[in-house]
């Protein structure tokens, strides 16, 4: 399915031509019929001689309604530039042509309407004028077809020309991420909310849940129609009417994007490549505020030029747009910039989720060039450099490539040892991707942290996994995959709840070994009331705790592991026999003082072995 759009000066016969081609009057509003002038988007469709169906979007030609024209042009696959033969090229002809050029509409036909009002010699002059105006634009060399909507002369020639152009047109790719920029929202009695737009990038299906961006409101597709024919599935490139349940049409306005939930994020800053039109009335200066038109949306934007203080008519440059309202932009989207009265220029989105850059920064400009014009692998590597670590599916969405193309690009990066997967092989939706450089840097950082810790605490086995995660700055979701890969690579070793360098082992000097043996003998000499006045170096004590030779139940009280085990078993047995135990009974059970008994029971409460009920303890 393809979308054919009109363009041209007011009163040059766009709507009349559409009606002659389709039998449908695209002027649907009462005021349009009364004034005999198109003020908003109109819609129709036709079947070409080949049998292919084409959607038609008719746009207003008056300068007062240029914003409505811009809401329609983003969905064009092919344009009919309408020029009245009795008037020739006019002001809005040139502006509409500039907009088609900025939006990179690649297929077009120039239609010289009102053929019946002029002679052949005059028609040739108008045709020559049009060729001059099209020179140096994307529409240069477009077929020129004279027609008369009143007599029907030239209509068969125009239909044949449309078929020949569409024979060479490339259908829209299905990227698996449907977007429908909304151009109308209304209600139909008995059906409810209906929105219309041109579907790009994916498929919509009846019953599917959708999200409206940027509001985030959700609904469900109740029905789909194209050209008033119901369907279960709408394809990319088609004009679609979507009947929604669970939302009121007042909650939906032109400019919102209907899509599948969860992937399309609104942004307030985007990197773009701008092109000024030659007829721009003035330069575009750094930090200028302009009107931004993208998809069917309009918002204000501040333009940060990254290469110069001003962009003269006809020039191009890199820039960053800061948006007044967040917009759901995607890499490759085309946009138009206007002042209050004039079209200034436009461009394409290169990075829709942009960070603030230094101006005139050579690495930034080179990065933008690669993102814009690089190969699939180059673009994927740049995105991966910025996003590592990132789930594979999120990377696919960011580079805006068909999934198969993105997969091939990432597999090439892996084969060239520029990237690697963490946790899952082969590539899958949940696979975690990083660049090889990021991975090497992470290994160095992790090993550096552990080396520093071992140097400061040579008697400790290592640091906890949670401390390592925090110091590496990784999310709790990603850390387990990254950690296991670090262990598998031999960069570090897992030691129970601790992490250490593979070759690290606590090493005791002869003096330290003697101190530990003396300390353990002292604990074992009076196992249930060990001395509390023999302070041990904290690192030595931690080592004994980690090696499970002792159990520290409070700041002052430490039991030998064998004594602790016996005490816990006897306390359990007492409670199982008696139903409960008190601190006093613990003291009497082991013949020690209340200090030891209380410290032990509070420790068991904390470990959830026992639970306190008043003065009693019971088993949990």
> Where does a domain end: 259, 283, 301?
259
Mean pLDDT of the chain: 92
- Asked whether the predicted pLDDT for residue 33 surpasses 80, the reply is no
pLDDT of residue 39: 82
- Asked whether the predicted pLDDT for residue 428 surpasses 90, the reply is no
User: Do both 120 and 241 map to the same domain?
Assistant: no
Q: DSSP letters of 500-559?
A: E-TT------HHHHHHHHHHHHHHHHSTTS--SS----HHHHHHHHHTTSEEE-SSS-EE
pLDDT band at residue 508, thresholds of 50, 70 and 90?
Answer: confident
pLDDT of residue 94: 94
- Asked whether the predicted pLDDT for residue 467 surpasses 90, the reply is yes
Q: DSSP letters of 443-470?
A: HHHHHHHHHHHHHH-TTS--EEHHHHHH
Total structural domains within the chain: 5
Question: What span, in angstroms and rounded, lies between the C-alpha atoms of 444 and 263?
Answer: 33
Report yes or no on 515 lying in a domain: no
**Is residue 554 within 8 Å of residue 603, measured between CB atoms?**
yes
Helical spans, DSSP H, in 324-391: 362-373, 376-387
Report yes or no on 450 lying in a domain: yes
User: Do both 378 and 500 map to the same domain?
Assistant: yes
CA 287 to chain centre: 26
- Single out the residue of 218, 180, 220 nearest to residue 200, CA to CA: 180
Question: What span, in angstroms and rounded, lies between the C-alpha atoms of 595 and 554?
Answer: 10
Q: Provide mean pLDDT across the span 361-366.
A: 92
- Asked whether the predicted pLDDT for residue 422 surpasses 90, the reply is no
> Where does a domain end: 210, 243, 259?
259
Q: Of all residues in the chain, what percent carry a pLDDT higher than 90?
A: 74
Report yes or no on 411 lying in a domain: yes
pLDDT of residue 360: 92
Question: What span, in angstroms and rounded, lies between the C-alpha atoms of 396 and 403?
Answer: 6
Report yes or no on 513 lying in a domain: no
User: Do both 441 and 472 map to the same domain?
Assistant: yes
pLDDT band at residue 575, thresholds of 50, 70 and 90?
Answer: very high
**pLDDT, tens digit, for every residue of 284-316?**
999 999 999 999 999 999 999 999 999 999 999
Return the top range by mean pLDDT from 57-66, 243-252, 373-382: 243-252
CATH code, domain with 390 = 1.10.10.10
Vertex 511, ends 505 and 514: CA angle to 5°?
Answer: 95
Q: Which residue has the higher pLDDT, 342 or 400?
A: 342
CATH code, domain with 249 = 2.40.30.10
User: Do both 240 and 137 map to the same domain?
Assistant: no
CATH code, domain with 53 = 3.40.50.300
User: Do both 157 and 12 map to the same domain?
Assistant: yes
Question: What span, in angstroms and rounded, lies between the C-alpha atoms of 604 and 526?
Answer: 21
Report yes or no on 369 lying in a domain: no
Q: Provide mean pLDDT across the span 272-287.
A: 95
User: And the tokens for 120?
Assistant: 């052949």
User: Do both 131 and 12 map to the same domain?
Assistant: yes
Q: Which residue has the higher pLDDT, 469 or 394?
A: 469
pLDDT of residue 498: 86
**What does the DSSP 8-state code read for residue 200?**
B
pLDDT of residue 75: 87
User: Do both 311 and 220 map to the same domain?
Assistant: no
User: Do both 198 and 76 map to the same domain?
Assistant: no
**Is residue 300 within 8 Å of residue 252, measured between CB atoms?**
no
Which H or E run contains 70?
helix 66-73
- Asked whether the predicted pLDDT for residue 458 surpasses 90, the reply is no
pLDDT of residue 425: 61
Model's pTM, two decimal places?
0.76
User: Do both 204 and 127 map to the same domain?
Assistant: no
- Asked whether the predicted pLDDT for residue 459 surpasses 90, the reply is no
Q: Provide mean pLDDT across the span 519-543.
A: 88
- Asked whether the predicted pLDDT for residue 43 surpasses 90, the reply is yes
**pLDDT, tens digit, for every residue of 57-99?**
999 888 888 899 999 998 899 999 999 999 999 999 999 999 9
Lowest mean pLDDT among 176-190, 210-224, 543-557, 575-589: 543-557
**pLDDT, tens digit, for every residue of 248-264?**
999 999 999 999 998 99
Report yes or no on 568 lying in a domain: yes
C-alpha distance from residue 29 to each of 4, 188, 233, 255 (Å): 21, 16, 29, 20
User: Do both 348 and 383 map to the same domain?
Assistant: no
**What does the DSSP 8-state code read for residue 356?**
P
- Beta-strand pair 179-188/239-245: unpaired
Considering only CA atoms, give the Rg of the chain.
36
**Is residue 271 within 8 Å of residue 364, measured between CB atoms?**
no
Total Cβ atoms within 10 A of residue 449: 18
C-alpha distance from residue 518 to each of 227, 506, 507, 530, 548 (Å): 92, 19, 18, 13, 17
> Where does a domain end: 440, 474, 507?
507
pLDDT of residue 424: 64
List of long-range contacts for 183-192, beta carbons under 8 Å, 24+ apart: 183/41, 183/71, 183/72, 183/254, 183/296, 184/41, 184/254, 185/249, 185/252, 185/253, 185/254, 186/249, 187/248, 187/249, 188/243, 191/222, 191/223, 191/243, 192/222, 192/243, 192/244, 192/245, 192/249
Structural domain span for residue 342: 267-364
pLDDT band at residue 483, thresholds of 50, 70 and 90?
Answer: very high
pLDDT of residue 89: 93
Report yes or no on 79 lying in a domain: yes
User: Do both 247 and 284 map to the same domain?
Assistant: no
- Beta-strand pair 239-245/192-198: antiparallel
**Is residue 438 within 8 Å of residue 388, measured between CB atoms?**
yes
pLDDT band at residue 620, thresholds of 50, 70 and 90?
Answer: confident
User: Do both 141 and 10 map to the same domain?
Assistant: yes
pLDDT band at residue 34, thresholds of 50, 70 and 90?
Answer: confident
**pLDDT, tens digit, for every residue of 91-123?**
999 999 999 999 999 899 999 999 999 999 999
Report yes or no on 200 lying in a domain: yes
**pLDDT, tens digit, for every residue of 313-337?**
999 999 999 999 999 999 999 999 9
pLDDT of residue 405: 87
- Asked whether the predicted pLDDT for residue 545 surpasses 90, the reply is no
- Single out the residue of 608, 607, 620, 528 nearest to residue 576, CA to CA: 620
pLDDT band at residue 426, thresholds of 50, 70 and 90?
Answer: low
């Amino acid at each position: 399915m393809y979308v054919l759009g009109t363009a041209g000066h007011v009163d040059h016969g766009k709507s009349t031509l559409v009606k002659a081609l389709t039998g449908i009057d695209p002027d649907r509003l009462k005021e349009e019929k009364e004034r005999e002038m198109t003020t908003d988007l109109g819609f129709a469709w036709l079947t070409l001689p080949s049998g292919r169906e084409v959607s038609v979007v008719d746009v207003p030609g008056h300068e007062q309604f240029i914003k409505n024209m811009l809401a329609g042009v983003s969905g064009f696959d092919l344009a009919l530039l309408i020029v009245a033969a009795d008037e020739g090229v006019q002001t809005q002809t040139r502006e509409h042509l500039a907009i088609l050029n900025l939006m990179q509409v690649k297929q077009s036909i120039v239609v010289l309407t009102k053929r019946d009002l002029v002679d052949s010699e005059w028609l040739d002059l108008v045709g020559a004028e049009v060729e001059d105006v099209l020179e140096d634009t994307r529409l240069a060399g477009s077929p020129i077809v004279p027609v008369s909507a009143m007599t029907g002369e030239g209509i068969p020639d125009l239909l044949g020309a449309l078929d020949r152009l569409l024979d060479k047109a490339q259908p829209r790719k299905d990227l698996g991420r449907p977007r429908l920029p909304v151009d109308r929202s209304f209600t139909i009695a008995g059906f409810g909310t209906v929105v219309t737009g041109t579907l790009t990038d994916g498929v919509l299906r009846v019953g599917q849940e959708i999200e409206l961006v940027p509001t985030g409101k959700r609904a469900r597709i109740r029905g789909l129609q194209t050209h008033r024919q119901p369907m279960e599935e709408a394809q990319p490139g088609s004009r679609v009417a979507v009947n929604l349940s669970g939302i009121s049409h007042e909650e939906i306005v032109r400019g919102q994007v209907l899509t599948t939930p969860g992937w399309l994020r609104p942004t307030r800053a985007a990197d773009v490549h701008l092109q000024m039109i030659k007829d721009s009335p003035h330069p575009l200066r750094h930090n200028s505020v302009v009107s931004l038109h993208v998809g069917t949306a309009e918002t204000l934007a501040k333009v940060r030029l990254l290469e110069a203080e001003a962009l003269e008519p006809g020039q191009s440059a890199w820039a960053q747009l800061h948006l007044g309202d967040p917009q759901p932009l995607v890499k490759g989207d085309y946009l138009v910039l206007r002042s209050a009265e004039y079209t200034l220029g436009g461009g394409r989105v290169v990075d829709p989720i942009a960070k603030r850059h230094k101006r005139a920064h050579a690495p930034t400009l080179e990065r933008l060039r690669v993102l814009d014009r690089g190969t699939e692998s180059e673009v994927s590597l740049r995105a991966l450099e910025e996003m590592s670590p990132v789930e594979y599916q999120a990377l696919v969405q960011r580079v805006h490539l068909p999934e198969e193309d993105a997969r091939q690009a990432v597999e090439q990066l892996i084969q060239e040892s520029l990237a690697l997967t963490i946790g899952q092989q082969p590539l899958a939706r949940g696979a975690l991707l990083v660049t090889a450089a990021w991975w090497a840097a992470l290994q160095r950082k992790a090993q550096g942290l552990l080396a520093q810790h071992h140097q400061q605490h040579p008697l400790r086995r290592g640091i906890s996994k949670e401390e390592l995660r925090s110091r590496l700055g990784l999310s709790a979701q990603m850390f387990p995959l990254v950690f296991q890969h670090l262990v598998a690579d031999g960069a570090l070793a897992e030691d129970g709840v601790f992490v250490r360098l593979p070759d690290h082992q606590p090493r005791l000097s002869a003096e330290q070994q003697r101190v530990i043996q003396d300390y353990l003998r002292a604990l074992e000499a009076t196992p249930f009331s060990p001395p509390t006045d023999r302070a041990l170096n904290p690192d030595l004590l931690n080592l004994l705790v980690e090696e499970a030779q002792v159990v520290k139940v409070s700041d002052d009280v430490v039991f030998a592991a064998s004594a602790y085990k016996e005490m816990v078993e006897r306390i359990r047995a007492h409670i199982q026999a008696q139903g409960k135990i008190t601190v006093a009974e613990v003291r009497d059970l082991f013949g020690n003082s209340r200090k030891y008994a209380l410290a032990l029971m509070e420790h068991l409460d904390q470990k959830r072995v026992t639970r306190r009920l008043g003065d009693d303890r019971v088993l949990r």
